[in-house]
Amino acid sequence: MEIYLDANATTPVLAQARAAAMAAMADDFGNPSSVHSTGLKARALMDAVRARARRVLGAPNGQLLFLSGATEGIQTAVLSALHALRGAHSGGGTRPELLLYGATEHKAVPEALKHWNALLGLDLQVLAIPVGRDGRHDLAWLREHAPRAGLVCTMAANNETGVISDLDGIAAALAGTTALWMVDGVQALGKLPLRLADRRIDYAPFSGHKLYAPKGIGLLYVREGAPFTPLLAGGGQEGSLRSGTENMSGIAALGAVLAALEDGQSFRDAATLEAYRQRLAEELQRAFPGLVFNAPPELSLPTTLNFSVPGVSSRLLLDLFDAADMRMSGGSACSASKAQPSFVLEAMGLPEWQTASAVRLSFGPATEAAFIDEACARIRDCGESLRDSCLNPALQRQAAPAEGLTRFVVEGACCYLLADAASARCVIVDPLPELVERLAQWVRCQGYTLAAVLQTHGASAAGVAELCDAELGLPIEPGAVDALGWPQGVEQVTIGSRWLTRVSRPHGAVSYLVHDGSGVPMAFTGETTDAMAFEHAVNADTLLLPARDDDERFARTLRSERAAATGVTKASRELGVDALQAMLRAHPDLLLVDVREPYEQRLSQWPDLGVPVKTQAVPLSGLLDALPGWLALPPEVPVLFFCRSGNRSAQAARALHRLGHAQAWSLAGGLALWPRPLGLAA
């Protein structure tokens, strides 16, 4: 069962809302502008939903328009206000100088302000209202600037942190000014009493899909007497304020949600939601010692938690939760390799580590207790899994002893860790400053002896020695190692049954060869990209491991480089369901490889291909160790990689294919897109 904890992004559609939408599509499908009976029925439905919305929002007067969602509502409100400001100016009135918006506002607000300000040629100054550490607007700042403002935009509750704005405080700060006021009510709908008419709010946009209605339906409240300019002109629907035939299935569904809100049957009250959140918060703190919450719970929606775990990136946590079939989101936009810090948390002045590693958990007000029970159980499992992987600095429990080669990549730069479980020794090659803490944590947790920290080039060698001394606690005596970290006076560094030797490269750079009883299985080549430069030091299948891998090759070999000279195919290595079925029929000896990290693998099931196949779990970070085994397979045996989204498995398939195994494939779209069980029986 999927545990969906990303309700602030969107929600599933409530059963009664689905039924209402279906009825509006199949039976009562009329156009509310038609004068015949079918149309009249549709109009009656629309009027009834609008009346309900007025009750729920506390807005007996003013306009309440149906439109496509909050982004359209925000555009309409901003256009209306700015058009009126332009008119006031050309009429000789005093012109305001500022357009203000809360620093943690949804992007739709500042972008709309800038867009319409430029398009209407107003050239007003667009300024962010600062927020405090608690995420709330700086009211003193607002009081000072509001007299010069034409429009002030503040959200009712924040989508990332759940922080609830002090609307009465804002209203007081605006008292006596002529500024128009827009309140983005998206995250408050169904969770907070808004009392629109009791406050001097001029515009308030809402979105159906944040509260169990479908996407594509929203509401805009416009106070009686507030300036209005239609965004869409046309057939004159919605009293000519918003043209275009109404989205009747969306309106019907929204009506069912509002009805559920009014009857109180489907939605939990604030105390129950608060108790749910408390349970989740306690479970998270137990599972991830050191975890901090990024917003004060007493000022936040009872359905939202935003947290960070020291030393654990939000990307890693999201992958971990996703593996346990729990959906949450980054408090920030995560690109494939690096999380962007959250601008919301930055605006609150939180430390960099918190802004870059935040995770948002949010649930809807229709959540049942059994769902929270299951969520808590999965959070416990996730904590256990991370603990066993030596990844949480607050946990020093011994994990399964690590063995072999692990690769870390930071924006194309590679760092390697070679470990030997039997002798409990390891060596690090080309440590990156971004990884020092994580490597230190890993070495401490494993309890291994760090035999050496080696550099292949001198770019940051001095810095590395310092870092290692301070962070890793390495006993590096001054003069005991050379500038690149090699221990003085020794010819080789031993790691169990393997040993490293040095090869000098031009300009003071060094490469390191790794030997075992049978030859040189790998070499850390540093910045030298020309594999042929190693022709005399290594054999045809030695994995040549670079200090940078911008094109995600993982490794080169002399054999693969020679073959590349005769041409390499760039065709996709992805298999869709039909191709996979055909491949399974032709090759029952297919090898299925899970390239997710161990903390993800522990939490989830293998895909069911419908027929028994050989399987192997090799995280992408440990791919290099497994490559020789796959390269030694008969050429016709397919190796099929899979992961969560298809990205990591595609990298693995390309790498193996480039090294010479023609039958290297990845599962297109990853587990996320595959039906479970896959049901691929021939």
Choice between 103 and 484, CB closer to ligand PLP: 103
* Closest distance of CB 9 from ligand PLP, Å: 6
3 state DSSP class of 430: coil
**Is 426 assigned a catalytic role?**
no
Q: Strand 98-102's sheet: what is its strand order?
A: 63-67, 218-222, 203-207, 180-184, 149-155, 98-102, 125-129
Distance CA 568, CA 310 (A): 44
Work out whether 247 is an interface residue with ligand PLP (CB under 6 A): no
Say how far apart CA 182 and CA 199 lie, in whole Å: 11
The token pair that represents 12 in the structure block: 């599933």
Site for ligand PLP in 218-237 (CB under 6 A): 218
Query: Interacting stretch for ligand PLP, rule CB under 6 A, among 41-49, 66-74, 372-380, 437-445?
Result: 66-74
Q: 329-330 and 413-420: which strand pairing? A: unpaired
For residue 194, state whether it binds ligand PLP (rule: CB under 6 A). Answer: no
Question: What is the spatial distance between Cα 626 and Cα 641, in angstroms, rounded to a whole number?
Answer: 12
Q: Which is nearer to ligand PLP, 153 or 640 (CB)?
A: 153
Site for ligand PLP contains 187 (CB under 6 A): yes
Near ligand PLP by CB under 6 A: residue from 182, 186, 339, 624: 186
Contact pattern from residue 105 through residue 124 relative to ligand PLP, giving x for each residue in contact according to CB under 6 A and a dash for the rest? -x-x----------------
Taking each helix axis from N to C end, the angle separating 15-26 and 248-263, rounded to the nearest 10 degrees, works out to 150
Does residue 371 contact residue 12 with C-beta atoms inside 8 Å?
no
Shortest distance, position 107 Cβ to ligand PLP, whole Å: 8
Residue 448 one-letter amino acid: Y
Question: 155 or 405, CB closer to ligand PLP?
Answer: 155
Which residues pair with residue 397 across a beta bridge? none
Q: Pick between residue 253 and residue 580 the one whose CB is nearest to ligand PLP.
A: 253
Nearer to ligand PLP, 192 or 617 (CB): 192
| 375: enclosing H helix or E strand | helix 369-388
426 C-beta neighbours (distance < 10 Å), count: 25
Q: Six-digit token pair at 604?
A: 């989830």
**Cβ proximity of 609 and 680 under 8 Å:** yes
Give the residue among 3, 312, 293, 14 at the shortest CA–CA distance from 162: 293
Say whether 30 sits in a helix, a strand or coil. Answer: coil
For residue 333, the SS3 value is: coil
Q: 213 or 366: whose CB is closer to ligand PLP?
A: 213
Q: Which is nearer to ligand PLP, 187 or 354 (CB)?
A: 187
Q: How far apart, in whole angstroms, are the C-alpha atoms of residue 217 and residue 367?
A: 22
Among 21, 50, 52, 71, binds ligand PLP (CB under 6 A): 71
Candidate residues 165, 207, 229, 294; the one interacting with ligand PLP per rule CB under 6 A: 207
Of the two residues 187 and 294, which places its CB atom closer to ligand PLP in the complex? 187
Q: Give me the least distance between CB of 109 and ligand PLP, in Å please.
A: 7
Shortest distance in whole angstroms from residue 68 CB to ligand PLP: 8
Interface stretch with ligand PLP, choices 63-71, 120-128, 417-425, 548-556 (CB under 6 A):
63-71
Nearer residue to ligand PLP within complex by CB, 67 or 667: 67
> Which residues contact residue 168 at a Cβ distance below 8 angstroms, ignoring those fewer than 6 apart?
199
Check residue 184 for interaction with ligand PLP (CB under 6 A): yes
Phi, psi of 102, rounded to the nearest 5 degrees:
-65, 140
Among the listed residues 153, 334, 414, 468, the single catalytic one is 334
Q: What whole-number distance in Å separates Cα of residue 486 and Cα of residue 212?
A: 61
Tokens of 569: 């195919």
Neighbouring-strand partners of residue 360: 306, 329
Position among 56, 70, 467, 603 found at the interface with ligand PLP (CB under 6 A)? 70
Q: Which is nearer to ligand PLP, 304 or 385 (CB)?
A: 304
User: What is the C-alpha separation between 633 and 487, in angstroms, rounded?
Assistant: 38
Helix (H) or strand (E) holding 500: strand 498-504
Instruction: Please answer whether residues 186 and 70 qualify as being in contact, where contact means their C-beta atoms are separated by less than 8 angstroms.
Output: yes
Q: Return the range that interacts with ligand PLP (CB under 6 A); candidates 64-72, 111-119, 371-379, 526-534.
A: 64-72
8-state DSSP, 428: E
Q: Name the segment binding ligand PLP (CB under 6 A); options: 57-65, 69-77, 81-89, 568-576.
A: 69-77
Give the binding range for ligand PLP (CB under 6 A) out of 26-34, 65-73, 89-97, 417-425: 65-73
- Which residue carries 């927020």 as its tokens? 131
Task: Kindly state the smallest distance separating residue 204's Cβ from ligand PLP, in Å.
Answer: 11
CA geometry: angle 415, 416, 422, nearest 5 deg? 155
Q: How far is the CB of 217 from ligand PLP (least distance, A)?
A: 9
d(CA 103, CA 100): 9
Q: How far is the CB of 294 from ligand PLP (least distance, A)?
A: 17
67 binds ligand PLP (CB under 6 A): no
> Which alpha helices (H) appear in 58-99, and where do they start and end?
70-90
Q: Which two tokens stand for residue 430?
A: 């080309």
Q: Rounded to the nearest whole angstrom, what is the least distance from the CB of residue 6 to ligand PLP in the complex?
A: 11
Rounded to a whole number of angstroms, the minimum distance from the CB of residue 220 to ligand PLP is 11
Give the x/- contact pattern for ligand PLP in 653-672, rule: CB under 6 A: --------------------
Q: Please give the residues from 126 up to 165 whose contact with ligand PLP meets the rule CB under 6 A.
A: 155, 159
**Size, binding site for ligand PLP by CB under 6 A:** 12
Sorted by sequence, the CB contacts under 8 Å of residue 29 that are 6+ apart come out as 38, 42, 248
Q: Which residue is nearest to ligand PLP (CB)?
A: 69
Shortest Cβ distance from residue 600 to ligand PLP (Å)? Answer: 27
Q: Which of 30, 32, 62, 69 binds ligand PLP (CB under 6 A)?
A: 69
Q: Is 525 helix (H, G, I), strand (E, B) or coil?
A: strand
Q: Which is nearer to ligand PLP, 77 or 639 (CB)?
A: 77
Cβ 97 to ligand PLP shortest distance, Å: 26
**Segment near ligand PLP (CB under 6 A); pick from 181-189, 395-403, 426-434, 605-613:** 181-189
Q: Using CB atoms within 10 Å of the CB of residue 467, give its burial: 0 to 12 exposed, 13 to 18 middle, 19+ buried.
A: buried
CA angle 563, 569, 572 (to 5 degrees): 140
Stretch of 166-174, 183-191, 398-406, 521-529 contacting ligand PLP, by CB under 6 A: 183-191
Which residues neighbour 491 within 8 Å (Cβ) at sequence distance 6 or greater? 501
Find, among 53, 27, 57, the residue nearest to 42 by Cα: 27
H-helix or E-strand spanning residue 377 = helix 369-388
Task: Compute the least distance from the CB of residue 206 to ligand PLP, in Å.
Answer: 8
Residue 109 or 122 having the CB closest to ligand PLP: 109
Q: Which residues contact ligand PLP by CB under 6 A?
A: 69-71, 106, 108, 155, 159, 184, 186-187, 207, 218
Just list the catalytic residues. Answer: 334
